[in-house]
Amino acid sequence: MGPATGMTHDATTPAQRLTMADFGAFERRYRLYHHFPSLTRADAVSTTVAEGWVDECRPDTGISLVGSRLTIHHTYETHALADAPAHVSIIVMLEGQAELMHGEKRLTLSPREGVMLVNDGRCPLSARHMGGQRLRAINLTLLDDARTTQNRLAAPLADLLTSSPDGAWRLAPPEGLLASLEQWLNAAGEGISHTLLGEGLGLQLMAHGLAARENAPAEQTRRLGVRDRHHLARVRACLHDHPDASHDLDSLAQLACMSPSVLRDKFRQAYGQPVFEYLRQRRLEMAHDLLREGYSVQYVATRVGYRHASNFATAFKQRYGVSPRALQRQGA
C-alpha cells in the first residue's frame, strides 16, 4: 500500500513533490485514507511529505502495477476503508522498509522481500512508511472486478478471494525477478512496451505468490483459538509498552500461559514474525520518534533498551538506511 498518482517519469523528469493534498486524490480513487502523525491540516499544501516518482501501469480492468521511487520526509500511514473493495496485493520492497498490519498480523518488509496479501474487504489493512528514508517498491493490486476479465490473472484471483479471504504469505523473489522489477521501475513509464512488461511482471509476481501459499508451513493454515489470541495479545502489549525492559522467552511464556516453544510458534502464526523481531522493531520505531523529537543518541539508545549506543546505531542504520545522527540532522 502506498501513494499512486498516475505520474510517469523518465531520466529527464524532475522529482515530483507530494503533499498531503496529493495523497487525497489517491484516497478517493482507492477507498483509502492517510494519516500523517507529525503534520496538521495547516500543512496540507505547504509541506512536502515525500518527493520522487510514482508510475502506475494498468494492463487490464481492475489490475494495476505501481512503482514508487520516493524520498519520504514525514511518516505517513495508509489505511483501507471498511468498504474498500476485495483485492489481492503483492508488494516487493527494493529499498527502504514498510510496516504492514493485516488483521492481527504485523509484517515488516525489508529490501528484497515481498508479501502477498488477500483482503475480502473486511480484514483491517494498513501500512506505515517512516520518514527519513528512501523507498523503492513495486505493488501489484488486483481488484475484485478483475475476475471478469480474460486476463490470465483472473482465475488465480478468483481462487484466492474465495479460498483465502484474509491470507498473508511472505515471498522471497528470485534474483532474476528482482532485476526485472528494478529495470521496469527505472524505465520510462509510458508506451505499449512498458504496459506489456508490466503485465508480464504481474504474471510472475502472481506465480510466486501462489507458490508461497502452496509451500506455506501447515501451522499457517491453522486457526488460533480465542484464548490463545487473548494471551498472545497480552504478550504483544507488554513488549509494546515496555520495550526497554530485559525480556526473555521464559518470562513471556509465563505471561502467555504457554511453553516457550509454543509461544514462539503461535506468536509467529498470529503476528507474522518472531517474538524478539517484534521487540526489536518496536524499539527502533520508538527510537525513530524520539530522535525526531531531538533527544540525544545516547539517551535514546538507553531509553529503548540498548546497553551500547554503537549497537543501537548499527541496528538503526540497518533498518532505516540512515544513522541516528543523520536522522537528527534531517529533522533539525
What topology is assigned to 224-331 in CATH? Answer: Arc Repressor Mutant, subunit A (1.10.10)
Least Cα distance to 241 among 158, 182, 192, 304 occurs for 304
Question: Quick one: how far is CA 52 from the chain centroid?
Answer: 18
- Residue 189 phi/psi, 5-degree rounding, is -90, 55
The tens digit of pLDDT for each residue in 42-77 reads 888 889 999 999 888 888 888 999 999 999 999 999
Q: Are 264 and 274 in contact (CB under 8 A)?
A: yes
pLDDT averaged over consecutive 10-residue blocks of the chain (332 residues)? 46 77 76 85 86 89 92 91 85 93 85 92 86 93 87 87 85 94 83 87 94 73 77 92 93 94 86 85 89 91 92 86 81 57
Instruction: Give the model's pLDDT for residue 332.
Output: 56
Least Cα distance to 198 among 183, 214, 213 occurs for 183
Q: 16-216 in CATH: which number? A: 2.60.120.10
The torsion defined by the Cα of 251, 255, 258 and 262, in degrees rounded to 10, comes to -70
Say if strands 48-60 and 32-35 run parallel, antiparallel, or are unpaired. Answer: unpaired
- Where in the chain do CATH 2.60.120.10 domains reside? 16-216
| Residue 150: CB atoms within 10 Å | 7
Say how far apart CA 8 and CA 125 lie, in whole Å: 27
The tens digit of pLDDT for each residue in 1-22 reads 544 444 444 445 678 899 998 8
- Where in the chain do CATH 1.10.10.60 domains reside? 224-331
Instruction: Give the model's pLDDT for residue 4.
Output: 41
